[in-house]
Structure 1
């Protein structure tokens, strides 16, 4: 795997590595199932700290490009290569070579290309105005950050529980926006509160942790399972998929990290506990227990995010 680092490049070392690996996966140079060097070995190969490589691998895993399996290694996921990437590379190489032949120094060319991309982004990535809906702000902040990394939008957060209480306020506010983006687990609640949605609405999904899902499926009937997130509502929403995977054979308790009494009851009553990454550290540090607590890392589904971005770019411009 040919990865190169330019120490004095305007882009940081971590981002350079991430972009090169991502590009090799997208153009098919790295194929599904291919094993990458360990973070330690890649760090030695590139003469950088292993933690930098580990951070790159983690981010690419969250974005759906890699699968990091503890004790086994880091593997390329099955990603459909982007079309015409080879043609685009030729266009770029021709432009770069022409700049060099015209007498410009490499540093000047690099600076100009990066600055030019930023300027173009302001003109081409407009996404209009969107309302983001879910049951807690942490998810909305994550979605908002991911969207704004690729698309310039004006966004407004609303909790589904507030919309259920004050639907008229939501309707009035939504008239100022041209797109609603709502968590899939809350679509039915949104439509019940506002049967005639005033603007186009699309959903987003939280990426399923299949390892945790399979673990829950293996639990024997009658096992008492605790689920913990920001609130009781978000706990039910996040683990809805997991509940479906295990049928009705388990006894479940859903708890929010904001309810101390319910937390203590869960810790006393449940055989096993699953906590989202939003609350895992708080739960473990403040409520010591001998019960096993599993961390569930949640993220926006990459394919779903791509669809949202494409929809914003196509129809979001004001």
Structure 2
């Protein structure tokens, strides 16, 4: 039984971590830290936990826990770690973008490993510090890594992906409140989204010469999930493409190649990524779907924790979607 701490537990990712870790047979939550809600019950921020736990947020940090999850806003993990020195044996899993890029991976002697298990499983198993991937980055990388592995991304890739409102965080904004988001859809950060950096680094680790990525992210009028479509030139049959993907993900417990077209309800509330391939003339269309809060954040963080501590990779993560 390992002891876990959560920093920034009042947001969406913190709430999902609490839900998963409470039901994880190898983990005990030692504390949930929040500067804004210290002393208040966890269920005051996460009403889905009412009647399940009487745990309260704390303003104190136990620096000796076995693992700590940083669920802070982008740029804040660096500041927090500068002011809090955890035990040398404490594993740190950061869910922000502070340490994802290679240029930022070494922080005060801590070497952060990029935590995409389908790409870096061996390094993760030996790691002490993990930079958890972004949600869009996870969906898009899982759609493209098998092609990069076989050097099949010489041409440009066009990507269109739509995410739920929880991707914008728990604090309301002009484009996340209900009256604006409901019955609405819009794009944002066209071709410049911050996740492109980590996506390109991963792809280039497998294929030196990768075509340009044209990524158009969209805001959807739903709460959870990402549906991403990516298409590029592919000289080969659909059977060859399916075999290529299935072979790449042979040992991936959470990434599945579907024979039929996929949809979001198949993966929402799970740590799964579903992928479907379609070929039109010489163009291959790859569709991927994930839950942005689970496989795109907290679920993948626990997956990484399982690998680090030698648990079964899917321990505590066998979550079923509700498709009805």
TM-score normalised to the size of structure 1? 0.33
Structure having the higher helix fraction is: 1
**Bigger relative contact order, structure 1 or 2, given CA contacts below 8 A and separation 6+?**
2
Q: Which one has the largest radius of gyration?
A: 1
TM-score normalised to the size of structure 2? 0.32
